[in-house]
Structure 1
Amino acid sequence: MGDRSAASNVTSRLKNIVNEAPFFCKVIELIICVVTVGLIVDPFNSRMQADPNHAAIVYVSLCGYILINAILILCYLIGERQPKRMSMVFSVTGAILCCAAGIVLIHDWSKLYGNMISQYYKQYSDQMAASGVFALLAALVFLIDAIVTNKYVA
């Protein structure tokens, strides 16, 4: 009899964890987007991007989703639930925009070599590459969030 209640307890715990997975994905997305923006600020301020419009794409995509995820996390913490479709739209759009930002950053990084004379060239080059990778990682987490929300959230 105790085995059934223990198994039931484990199953209910797993269901609770899966139901909370979108919240944890939002927290991870927020952290990754903040790190990505933090890494790219100095290279962009030093005009190391190929096109100023690329900086706009990156900042709008990442900073927009920093704001959106911060609001969604706050709403979750005060007890507001968001509809499943809206959550899916935010996650898929976030994946697309973060992927675009990552591709732009990696493209600018690949065009950077031999292009600039700067005291901090190596540091900024590394920051730009790392920022591109983090943006692509954020896109992956947004996709995972969309899949988990679609599959497990009622």
Structure 2
Amino acid sequence: MPEERGSTNVVSRLKLHIKELPFFCKVIELVCCIISIALLVGALDNKSHKQLMNFHHVGLIFTSISGYILINSIIIVCYLIGEKQPKKMALLFAALGCLLCFASGVVLIYDWDKYDSNFIFQNSNKYLDQMLSSGIFAILASVVFALDTHFIKKYD
């Protein structure tokens, strides 16, 4: 009998933690987006990039990633004060975050490749590495957004 009680106790604790997965995903998304923006600011502030910079790409990247920093911060604060987010709205935010962060990451990696192969304006490897790392963190955030969408759909 005690073995059955112990196994149900583990299962019930596991179910409680599964309900918290979207919250933990939001925290990981926030950290990935902050790291991505922090790496990108230094890379795009380089003077040699300004002549090659496509401002449409920069607008997409900064708007989507910094927008989701703000959105996830608000969602985390609301969660901590006990407010419940509607399921459809949570799914919409997570799915759009996945698409926008993925697009930002792909654009960053495309621009990194374009800057790396330019022989007229030689760029510092430090800035190129920061741009590549920023793109990788944006794609990582996109993967976490996709997991968040799955967890919200399945467990909420």
Q: What's the TM-score, normalizing by structure 2?
A: 0.93
Q: Does 1:66 align with 2:69?
A: yes
Q: In structure 2, what is the equivalent of residue 31 of structure 1?
A: 31
| Stretches of structure 1 lacking an aligned partner (at least 5 in a row) | none
Query: What is the 5 A alignment of 1:122-141?
Result: 122-141=125-144
Q: Does 1:106 align with 2:109?
A: yes
User: Contact 1:99 / 1:136 at 8 angstroms: preserved in 2?
Assistant: yes
**Greater CA drift, 73-82 or 38-47:** 38-47
**Greater CA drift, 109-118 or 143-152:** 109-118
SS in 1 for 2:34: helix
Q: CA deviation at 1:142?
A: 0.1
User: Aligned AA for 1:105?
Assistant: L
Query: What is the 5 A alignment of 1:80-99?
Result: 80-99=83-102
Question: Counterparts of 2:25 and 2:3 in 1: how far apart (Å)?
Answer: 33
Q: CA deviation at 1:144?
A: 0.3
Match of 1:79 among 82, 89, 101: 82
SS in 1 for 2:114: helix
Q: Does 1:117 align with 2:127?
A: no
Q: CA deviation at 1:117?
A: 2.9
| Stretches of structure 2 lacking an aligned partner (at least 5 in a row) | none
Runs of 4+ off more than 3 Å: none
User: Aligned AA for 2:79?
Assistant: Y
Question: Counterparts of 2:14 and 2:24 in 1: how far apart (Å)?
Answer: 14
Q: How many residues align?
A: 151
CA RMSD of aligned residues (A): 1.1
The percentage of aligned residue pairs carrying the same residue is 45
Question: Counterparts of 1:46 and 1:24 in 2: how far apart (Å)?
Answer: 35
Question: Counterparts of 2:114 and 2:53 in 1: how far apart (Å)?
Answer: 7
